[in-house]
Amino acid sequence: MAAVLGMDRDRVEEICQKVAQGKVLTTANFNSPGQIVISGHMEAIERAIALAKEMGAKRAVLLEVSAPFHSPLMVVAGQKLGVELAKVEVNELKVPVVTNVEAEANLAKDRVWDLLVRQMSSPVRWEESIHKMIGLGVERFVEIGPGKVLSGLIRRIDGQKEVLNLEDPMGLDKLKNLAKSPSA
């Protein structure tokens, strides 16, 4: 996988088509304006990095990941995940989940496992998903876990929305106190 910065979707897709040369190479993450991740066979990724730089990308860098996530090369892994997910019962969804596969809200419990399996080999439509949530009235985003990568992406998509990061129990206390305040 590689991150391409400073190019739009059409240019990155054009690069993927030009350098694939019979190998798998596809757009994998649409993170924010001007930040797109590609995924596929390593030799095609290396060619794409070189061409992206030639075509004016601000940066094109190899990512340290263990697999070509969100590409057709992950279909078999997704099928294996589906077998395991089938063993787990899903309750009715009380809150819609905006899925990165479709960038749409899902409330259908019978679609959850299919969407998760498809996510293994489908592009992450993060920017569209955030716009969808904003369109549904979301004003505050909370990133849970170490790091602030997603918080930074959300701020690039819409710098007006409140973004919180919960990395530890102190962050959870901060969120609880915020929820108790009258303006929350």
User: What are the sequence ranges of the domains in the chain?
Assistant: 2-62, 139-184
Residue 176 — very low, low, confident or very high, per pLDDT cuts 50/70/90?
A: confident
Cβ-based neighbours of 138, under 8 Å, separated by 6 or more: 161
What number of other Cβ atoms are within 10 A of residue 176's Cβ? 9
User: Cα(12)–Cα(98) distance, rounded to whole angstroms?
Assistant: 25
106 exposure class (CB count in 10 Å sphere: 0-12, 13-18, 19+):
middle
What number of other Cβ atoms are within 10 A of residue 132's Cβ? 18
Average pLDDT for 91-103: 96
Cβ atoms of 166 and 157 closer than 8 Å: no
Cβ atoms of 145 and 167 closer than 8 Å: yes
With H, G, I as helix, E, B as strand and everything else as coil, classify residue 28: strand
With H, G, I as helix, E, B as strand and everything else as coil, classify residue 166: strand
Note the pLDDT of residue 183: 57
Terminal Cα-to-Cα distance of the chain (whole angstroms): 39
Task: Say if residue 128's pLDDT is above 80.
Answer: yes
Note the pLDDT of residue 15: 98
Q: Kindly report the backbone phi and psi dihedral angles of residue 27, in degrees, each rounded to the nearest multiple of 5, phi listed first.
A: -70, 135
* The two three-digit tokens of residue 40, written as one number: 């596929």
Condensed to tens digits (0 to 9), the pLDDT of residues 50-65 reads 999 999 999 999 999 9
Q: What CATH class is the domain 2-62?
A: alpha beta
pTM over 0.85, yes/no: yes
Residue type for position 142: V
CA 34, distance to chain mean position in Å, is 14
